[in-house]
Amino acid sequence: MLYREAGQFKASYQEDSQIFPIRQDRVGFIALLAFFFLIVPMVASQYWLQAILTPVLIFSLAALGLNILTGYAGQLSLGSAAFMAVGAFATYNFMLRIDGMPFLMAILLGGLSAAAVGILFGLPSLRIKGFYLAVATLAAQFFIVWVLVKFPWFSNYSSSGVITAQEINILGYAFNTPESKYLLTLLVVTVLALAAKNMVRSTTGRKWMAVRDMDVAAEVIGIRLMRTKLQAFAVSSFYCGVAGALYAYTYLGTVEPEGFNLTLSFQILFMIIIGGVGSILGSFLGAAFIVLLPVFLNIVLHSFVGAALPPGFGSNLELMIFGGLIIFFLIVEPHGMARLWQIGKEKLRLWPFPH
Amino acid sequence: MERKFGEVVIDLQNISLSFGGVKALTNISFDVRKHEIRAIIGPNGAGKSSMLNVINGVYHPQEGRIVFNGQERREMEPYMAASQGISRTFQNIALFKGMTVLDNIMTGRHMKMNCGLLSHMLHWGRAQKEEIEHRKKVEEVIDFLEIQSIRKTPVGRLPYGLQKRVELARALAAEPELLLLDEPMAGMNVEEKQDMCRFILDVNDQFGTTIVLIEHDMGVVMDISDRVVVLDYGKKIGDGTPDEVKSNPDVIAAYLGTSH
Ligand SMILES: Nc1ncnc2c1ncn2[C@@H]1O[C@H](COP(=O)(O)OP(=O)(O)OP(=O)(O)O)[C@@H](O)[C@H]1O
Ligand SMILES: [Mg+2]
């Protein structure tokens, strides 16, 4: 079936405002969900599920969180990892300190805790923009990690702040295999991604973008800048917080505050730059790219060049490719891979008659 | 053409505004009556845009009183002005560049939409109903301004004249009581100007919207406005019907003194 919009007339505004207005996209999306929910758990190896797919999903969620703030609401942040840390440690403490706390509820509360902290560190955005705001969020990055290390209460007095995630148990079912953890992660990420898509195509998202594109005009049509920016900080941090909780519970199992460092924040930023600033799909593409590139390079280097390489060559090459790509996307295609995908689709829509 | 105007919608009394040492407005008073088209004219830098900025709360005058709908208002922020029914367009287009025409106009309607974050996340039931309901209203504005064919176009890709029209559409989507237009026809060709004039008159006629208009094209001003305020160096030098203003010696002097 050709990828076509022609012949699909929208008879109502309801049809026109669907989440995927083009039928092929709708079918494609359902097929994609079916593939990742049904086929992948059956065919993928434990290694792929545990070490690749689960982290891709978690980083996608964190990138999505940053994209809401930076790509949609236009507020730059370098503190994503710190908000993940808040989510992880808050979830841990809710599980630890409240008897019979259901896991999903703990994650929700963890996300909400991150949202609250996000609002706090979003306050400077009311006064400052761009580079200076980025520096202020940098303060959040260091301060939050410092607090989690400084006050051992957060890690239940374990040595050097390491926490070990409790077992996940939902309605009597224990999520302790790579398959089940992957599926749980996939479910949470899918639900939150759809919610994000819904937000950005409604008044909430339009207000964010209005503030991003022209804040004076936004204010003049009645948008309250303070409320809108803080809301974006809250939602963004919520997403990062949930990602952090999943990072601890379904991916690593044990985490320490220092794990949520500036490097991780930068990685999440690179994901949205490469994947696409202001794009939900881009958050996934960017996360997949950054997690998969080293894996891919490793395979290529091993099979073609073998052991003749100096140690560290692979990781250096990786850094060079990242650097090059980031410069490429910043200069040539600021909307990232998602935009390339969209251009491809537009070409396809006309193919094979480009005129 | 004699028209009956209603009561005073906004009354500006002894407004003075300065930026540091620069006096942008000095002791200006005038009023705007319901349903009229009130023009503000004057040479460059006369303080016209500053006047609009005072009306919708972007600038706070150091002195003077503003009475809007019979109520004196204190320090007013732009969003409050918007919630009281004041919309505007800008001299330098201030559209949301990354969004489509439709989204820009829908954003102009946000004040009338009540659903919150959580229902937007679900986009089901009430939120969906609200979105569709307001989409219908927005489509009316789109039809009115004849921009159906560019609905889904990102505004950044549109030519200047159309961008100005989309900006008017965004302002109209809020169904304003008072509409402030800052040089809506600047940089347009004759045909586009005619269209814009027609739209402004239609808005005024069909929706009964009160309009304050800044315009440099004297022909247009004399044609469509009911009363004109003339500013020069931040001072009011004339106020009255187009004919009265045209024959005012101070106004003639100000205009002959500059290159208009
Ligand atoms: N935000 C501001 N800060 C400092 N000075 C300002 C500001 N806004 C306006 N002014 C000054 O106030 C005076 C009036 O400016 P304004 O923009 O109101 O003029 P105008 O009549 O709209 O001119 P134009 O026809 O060029 O648009 C000018 O001297 C301008 O430099
Ligand atoms: Mg001006």
Distance B111 CA to ligand 1 centre (A): 29
ipTM of the complex: 0.92
- Residue A169, φ and ψ in degrees, nearest 5: -140, 115
pLDDT at B1 over 50: no
Each residue of A191-204: pLDDT tens digit? 999 999 999 999 99
Q: Are residues B54 and B111 in the same domain?
A: no
Where does a domain end: B175, B207, B235? B175
CA B204 to each of CA B74, B145, B182, B201: distance values in angstroms, whole numbers, following the listed order: 28, 13, 16, 5
Could you tell me which chain B residue has the CA closest to the CA of A216?
B94
Distance B192 CA to ligand 1 centre (A): 26
Q: Are residues B65 and B80 in the same domain?
A: yes
Report the nearest atom of ligand 1 relative to the CA of B216: 25
Residue A300 inside a domain? The answer is no
Residue B166 inside a domain? The answer is yes
Pocket-testing residue among B25, B48, B221, ligand 1, by greatest number of atoms within 8 A of Cβ: B48
Distance CA A155, CA A89 (A): 7
Please judge whether B121 and A195 are an interchain contact, meaning their C-beta atoms are less than 8 angstroms apart: yes
Output the pLDDT for position B85.
Answer: 95
Q: Are residues B183 and B80 in the same domain?
A: yes
Task: Spell out a b/e string for B168-206, using b for 16 or more CB atoms within 10 Å of the CB, else e.
Answer: bbbbbbbbbbbbbbbbbbbebeeebbebbbebbeebbee
- Which residue CA neighbors atom 16 of ligand 1 most closely? B47
Q: Total domain count for chain B?
A: 2
Residue A137 inside a domain? The answer is yes
Single-letter amino acid, residue B216? H
Q: Are residues B147 and B184 in the same domain?
A: no
Q: Which residues of B fall below an 8 Å CB-CB distance to A? A: 56, 58, 77-79, 81-83, 87-88, 90, 94-99, 103, 106-108, 110-111, 113, 115, 117, 120-123, 127-128, 131-132, 135-136, 139, 170-171, 174
- Residue recorded with tokens 């949930």: A242
Residue B155 inside a domain? The answer is yes
Each residue of B102-122: pLDDT tens digit? 999 999 999 999 889 999 998
pLDDT at B2 over 60: no
Report the nearest atom of ligand 1 relative to the CA of B53: 18
Could you tell me which chain B residue has the CA closest to the CA of A194?
B121
Q: Are residues B6 and B73 in the same domain?
A: yes
Please judge whether B79 and A217 are an interchain contact, meaning their C-beta atoms are less than 8 angstroms apart: no
Ligand nearest to the CA of B42: 1
Each residue of B192-232: pLDDT tens digit? 999 999 999 999 999 999 999 999 888 899 999 999 999 99
On whether the CB atoms of residues B168 and B89 are closer than 8 A, the answer is yes
Q: Which of B99, B111, B135 comes nearest A209 by C-beta?
A: B99
Q: Which of A13, A204, A213 comes nearest B98 by C-beta?
A: A213
On whether the CB atoms of residues A214 and B94 are closer than 8 A, the answer is yes
Lowest mean pLDDT, pick from A87-101, B66-80, B138-152: B66-80
Best mutation target, A12, A220, A242, to test chain B (most B CBs within 10 A)? A220
Distance CA A96, CA B50 (A): 59
Structure tokens that stand for B72 in this block = 């004196």
Residue A226 inside a domain? The answer is yes
Q: Are residues B201 and B81 in the same domain?
A: yes
Output the pLDDT for position B260.
Answer: 45
Low-confidence residues in chain A, pLDDT < 70: 1-11, 306-308, 351-355
- Which residue CA neighbors atom 22 of ligand 1 most closely? B49
- Which residue CA neighbors atom 12 of ligand 1 most closely? B24
Cβ B92 under 6 angstroms from ligand 1 = no
CA B154 to each of CA A188, B100, B161, B171: distance values in angstroms, whole numbers, following the listed order: 32, 4, 15, 18
Contacts of residue B173, defined as CB under 8 A and 6 or more positions apart, other chains included, come to B105, B106, B108, B109, B137, B138, B141
Report the nearest atom of ligand 1 relative to the CA of B183: 27
Q: Residue B218 sits in a domain of what CATH number?
A: 3.40.50.300
Distance CA A92, CA A245 (A): 8
Q: Total domain count for chain A?
A: 1
Residue B44 inside a domain? The answer is yes
Q: Which of B113, B136, B139 comes nearest A203 by C-beta?
A: B113
Q: Are residues B54 and B4 in the same domain?
A: yes
Q: Which long-range contacts (CB under 8 A, 24 or more apart) does B224-229 make?
A: B224/B37, B224/B39, B224/B197, B224/B200, B225/B37, B225/B38, B225/B39, B226/B3, B226/B5, B226/B36, B226/B37, B226/B38, B227/B36, B227/B38, B227/B39, B228/B38, B228/B39, B228/B40, B228/B41, B229/B30, B229/B38, B229/B39, B229/B40, B229/B41
Domain span at residue B63 reads 1-85+176-260
Stated as kind and residue range, the H or E segment containing A42 is: helix A40-43
How many percent of chain B have pLDDT more than 70?
97
Distance CA B174, CA B145 (A): 15
Residue A127 inside a domain? The answer is yes
Whether pTM exceeds 0.90: yes
Distance CA A196, CA A67 (A): 10
What is the count of residue pairs from A and B with beta carbons less than 8 Å apart?
Answer: 108
Q: Which of A13, A219, A223 comes nearest B136 by C-beta?
A: A13
Q: Are residues B152 and B220 in the same domain?
A: no
**Which chain B residues are closer than 8 Å to A17 by Cβ?**
128, 131-132, 135
pLDDT at B10 over 90: yes
Residue B217 inside a domain? The answer is yes
pLDDT at B259 over 50: no
Residue B91 inside a domain? The answer is no
Residue B90 inside a domain? The answer is no
Residue A233 inside a domain? The answer is yes
How many percent of chain B have pLDDT more than 90?
81
Stated as kind and residue range, the H or E segment containing B53 is: helix B48-55
Structure tokens that stand for B159 in this block = 């030519």
Distance B40 CA to ligand 2 centre (A): 10
Residue B81 inside a domain? The answer is yes
Domain span at residue A53 reads 20-260
Distance A183 CA to ligand 2 centre (A): 59
Residue A290 inside a domain? The answer is no
- Residue A164, φ and ψ in degrees, nearest 5: -110, 120
Where does a domain end: B121, B145, B175? B175
Residue B58 inside a domain? The answer is yes
Determine the distance in angstroms separating the CA of B107 from the nearest CA of chain A, rounded to an integer: 6
Q: Are residues B33 and B63 in the same domain?
A: yes
Nearest Cα to B210, choosing from B86, B59, B114? B86
- Which residue CA neighbors atom 23 of ligand 1 most closely? B45
Q: Are residues B124 and B238 in the same domain?
A: no
Structure tokens that stand for B57 in this block = 């709360």
A14 to chain B, any CB pair closer than 8 A? The answer is yes
Please judge whether A212 and B110 are an interchain contact, meaning their C-beta atoms are less than 8 angstroms apart: no
What is the rounded (10 degree) CA torsion for A286, A291, A292, A297?
120
pLDDT at B66 over 80: yes
Q: Are residues B155 and B185 in the same domain?
A: no
Where does a domain end: B119, B149, B175? B175
| Chain A, window 149-188: residues with a beta carbon less than 8 angstroms from a chain B beta carbon | none
Residue A223 inside a domain? The answer is yes
Residue A333 inside a domain? The answer is no
